[in-house]
């Protein structure tokens, strides 16, 4: 695994005897019937509400109706009837809208704890009781007319990863609804110097997709007092309910649903698609999970000794290979896609899931809209309890049709390995990382000029097409780019004591890194705030650090406006020229040629004319040396559009001849 081990919420191994009252072998579980049709545990109408729970191992199931989302006495309790396909059902007449409910399952003579079900769609505060609501009434005005922004090809995508609180909590954000879904509906927000923030900042930056960190109901935040703690949200409780701490009213079930939809609609109107970070690989706490309180043992993988497998590094791993879990994942993705109009899904620790399930999700999504983008982390935190050949690991991306994986070869080739924050690489002029960067530039596909024996992790191409590689150097995990550059430069300059790092040098390297990402043939990915030199005060794993560590300081957009303009200009440059995102491995092989260059310099030529670009020949040079670099290029008259930390699509200068000089620690882009 080539990534940060995930956030650990449950560290102790739980024995099978303590977690599964109804311990079964996988063979026995496979005998249980999987129901046909959608998983719909509560079907509401004004005249009656129909309840269904899949619990094939249960001896009895009861349904409890409550007047409130927490506390208080129950209104009534009902025995449910066993139905076909392992389902239990109960129909209640009358209009129950506004009520709450739970299921309770009896296994081996013991009643398990109450659960809102495995597929509840609305809950009370903190997700302990499911809510009976009319979903039609959660649709904001104009929802029926909401349309996804046009996307012709995955190669046109520019991703931007963000956390709701990071993005809007700062006092200078100008945003009223700080830390909430609807923060992304507010227009005209500005920092103290009048520069755009919020959704207007995203439009100005030019990204096509915003990847929001987990936004379903998660367990680490008390929704009644969200101001008291912070978390990224990689601790699922109810997978199909928006997180209440991001709502202006977590007590009213319909509010969080409506506000999530308002956010999506506002983003669509701004021309931006929305990607949801999904975490089906583990739950917050297996023993108290809705899965375990419904069909003990079924939804999780176990080791030979009966203890929980832990490929997630969070105490458990779900069994995506089990028929009902596979069905669950497919239907959950489709539910978010159809009910909330989402445009993509990022799978946390995708390597824990099996290939068959991921392909089933892609196939189901294609039937709705093939432009939906799906990608994930092609690794696990430790070895899952399933043969490697069956897992959706990065090395098996060529078996995942239309699904992308993060390219950590490029990330660590640029910034340094993930195991040591002080370790630097190409960006700080360390030799030997050029091939790993080149691997990322071609999008992890087979290319005749890449020496795969010298790649840092993968020794062979793993993508069929360049759009199957996410091109990135920074994300929510690990140090953000500004902190990593500062740390590695300081260690390089003085390994034994702390030294101050020159700010101008940090900015030069930040620009160089972003140039490599945005001229890569993979799908580029920007971590929120990198475009304004956002740091996290050196914190490596800030999943539960306070807002003071995680919040984007919007004053820095003024302080580092030059960096923002550089990145936004690169985004515009990429979107305007097909040569930077050809979208085809064969086109990349035919039309991207690496030029001879010295150590710590990477130069390549793009044949724009062959892919219909208005620029017939494009030269890109990345120079991490602390001195100017000379590179031989094809003879011609060129217009320079990127040089020495500046970008201007109308041209910065003219260049002529067959040799060019590239300033230290900078990129050069020119065309003819």
What residues contact residue 83 under an 8 Å CB cut-off, 6+ apart?
A: 52, 89
DSSP for 478-489, written as a single string:
SS-HHHHHHHHH
Catalytic residue among 377, 409, 421, 531: 377
Is residue 613 within 8 Å of residue 579, measured between CB atoms? yes
Residue-level pLDDT at 24:
54
pLDDT tier at 508, thresholds 50, 70, 90: very high
Residue-level pLDDT at 666:
98
Residue-level pLDDT at 30:
86
Give pLDDT tens digits for 408-455.
999 999 999 999 999 999 999 999 999 999 999 999 999 999 999 999
Can you tell me the mean pLDDT for 189-197? 98
Task: Read off φ and ψ for residue 151, nearest 5 degrees.
Answer: -140, 115
Is residue 294 within 8 Å of residue 115, measured between CB atoms? yes
pLDDT tier at 28, thresholds 50, 70, 90: confident
Can you tell me the mean pLDDT for 358-383? 98
Alpha helices in 420-528 (DSSP H): 434-441, 481-493, 503-518
285 is annotated as an active-site residue: no
DSSP for 388-423, written as a single string:
GGGB--GGGGGGSTT-EEE-HHHHHHHH--TT-TT-
Q: Give the chain's length.
A: 672
Give pLDDT tens digits for 100-159.
999 999 999 999 999 999 999 999 999 999 999 999 999 999 999 999 999 999 999 999
Residue-level pLDDT at 25:
66
Alpha helices in 157-250 (DSSP H): 164-168, 198-205
Give pLDDT tens digits for 142-170.
999 999 999 999 999 999 999 999 999 99
377 is annotated as an active-site residue: yes
Residue 390 has pLDDT above 90, yes or no: yes
Mean pLDDT of the chain: 95
Residue 2 has pLDDT above 70, yes or no: no
Can you tell me the mean pLDDT for 545-572? 98
Listed residue (172, 292, 289, 284) closest to 559, CA to CA: 172
Residue 251 has pLDDT above 80, yes or no: yes
Edge-first strand listing for the sheet containing 87-93? 42-44, 48-54, 87-93, 81-82
Residue 22 has pLDDT above 60, yes or no: no
Catalytic residue among 343, 348, 412, 421: 348
Is residue 621 within 8 Å of residue 629, measured between CB atoms? yes
Domains in the chain (CATH in brackets) are 16-135 (2.60.40.10), 154-551 (3.20.20.80), 580-671 (2.60.40.1180)
CA–CA distance, 55 with 593 (Å, rounded to integer): 58
At which residue do the structure tokens 């910034």 appear? 415
Task: Read off φ and ψ for residue 53, nearest 5 degrees.
Answer: -135, 130
| Cα–Cα–Cα angle for 204, 209, 210, rounded to 5 degrees | 85
Can you tell me the mean pLDDT for 182-210? 98
Beta bridge partners of 65: 76, 101
Residue 240 has pLDDT above 60, yes or no: yes
Task: Read off φ and ψ for residue 515, nearest 5 degrees.
Answer: -65, -40
Residue-level pLDDT at 403:
98
CB count within 10 Å of CB 644 equals 17
Is residue 360 within 8 Å of residue 391, measured between CB atoms? no
């Amino acid at each position: 695994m080539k990534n940060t081990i995930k956030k650990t919420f449950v560290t102790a191994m739980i024995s099978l005897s303590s977690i599964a009252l109804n311990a079964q072998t996988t063979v026995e579980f496979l005998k249980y019937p999987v129901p046909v049709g959608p998983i719909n545990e509560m079907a509401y109408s004004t005249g009656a509400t129909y309840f269904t729970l899949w619990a094939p191992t249960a001896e009895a199931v009861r349904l409890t109706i409550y007047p409130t989302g927490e506390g208080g006495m129950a209104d009534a309790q009902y025995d449910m009837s066993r139905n076909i396909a392992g389902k239990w059902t109960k129909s209640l007449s009358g209009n129950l809208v506004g009520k709450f409910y739970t299921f309770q399952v009896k296994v081996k003579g013991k009643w398990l704890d109450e659960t809102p079900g495995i597929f509840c769609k609305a809950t009370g505060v903190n997700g302990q009781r499911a809510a009976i609501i009319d979903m039609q009434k959660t649709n904001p005005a104009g929802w029926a007319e909401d349309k996804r922004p046009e996307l012709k090809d995955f190669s046109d995508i520019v991703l931007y990863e963000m956390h709701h609180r990071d993005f809007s909590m700062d006092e200078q954000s100008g945003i009223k609804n700080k830390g909430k879904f609807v923060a992304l509906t507010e227009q005209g927000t500005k920092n103290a110097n009048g520069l755009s923030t919020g959704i207007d900042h995203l439009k100005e930056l030019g990204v096509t997709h915003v990847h929001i960190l987990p936004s379903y109901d998660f367990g680490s935040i008390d929704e009644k007092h969200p101001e008291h703690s912070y978390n990224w949200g990689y601790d699922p409780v109810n997978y199909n309910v928006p997180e209440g701490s991001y709502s202006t009213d977590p007590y009213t079930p319909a509010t969080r649903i409506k506000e999530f939809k308002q956010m999506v609609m506002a983003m669509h109107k701004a021309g931006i698609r929305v990607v949801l970070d999904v975490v089906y690989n583990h739950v917050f706490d297996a023993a108290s999970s809705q899965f375990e309180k419904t069909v003990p043992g079924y939804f999780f993988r176990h080791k030979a000794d009966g203890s929980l497998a832990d490929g997630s590094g969070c105490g458990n791993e779900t069994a995506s290979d089990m028929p009902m879990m596979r069905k669950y994942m497919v239907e959950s993705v489709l539910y978010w896609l159809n009910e909330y109009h989402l445009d993509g899904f990022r799978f946390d620790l995708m390597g824990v899931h099996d290939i068959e399930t991921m392909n089933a999700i892609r196939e189901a999504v294609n039937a709705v809209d093939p432009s939906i983008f799906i990608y994930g982390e092609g690794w696990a935190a430790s070895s899952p309890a399933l043969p490697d050949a069956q897992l959706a690991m990065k090395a098996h991306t060529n078996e995942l049709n239309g699904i992308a994986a993060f390219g950590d070869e490029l990330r660590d080739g640029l910034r340094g390995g993930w195991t040591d924050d002080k370790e630097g690489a190409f960006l700080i002029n360390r030799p030997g990382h050029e091939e790993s960067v080149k691997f990322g530039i071609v999008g992890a596909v087979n290319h005749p000029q890449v020496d795969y024996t010298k790649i840092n992790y993968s020794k062979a191409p793993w993508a069929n097409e360049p759009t199957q590689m996410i091109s990135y150097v920074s994300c929510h995990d690990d140090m953000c780019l500004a902190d990593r550059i500062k740390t590695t430069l300081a260690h390089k300059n003085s390994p034994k004591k702390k030294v101050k790092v020159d700010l101008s040098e940090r900015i030069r390297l930040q620009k160089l890194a972003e140039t490599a990402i945005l001229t890569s043939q993979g799908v580029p990915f920007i971590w929120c705030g990198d475009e304004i030199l956002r740091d996290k005060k050196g914190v490596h794993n800030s999943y539960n650090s306070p807002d003071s560590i995680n919040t984007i300081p919007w004053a820095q957009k003024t302080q580092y406006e030059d960096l923002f303009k550089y990145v936004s200009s690169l985004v515009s440059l990429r979107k305007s020229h097909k040569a930077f995102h050809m979208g085809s491995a064969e086109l990349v092989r035919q039309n991207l040629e690496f030029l001879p260059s010295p150590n710590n310099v990477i130069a390549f030529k793009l044949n724009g004319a062959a892919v219909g670009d208005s620029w017939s020949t494009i030269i890109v040079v990345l120079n991490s040396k602390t001195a100017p670099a000379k590179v031989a290029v094809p003879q011609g008259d060129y217009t320079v559009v990127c040089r020495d930390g500046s970008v201007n699509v109308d041209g910065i200068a003219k260049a002529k001849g067959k040799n060019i000089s590239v300033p230290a620690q900078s990129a050069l882009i020119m065309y003819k």
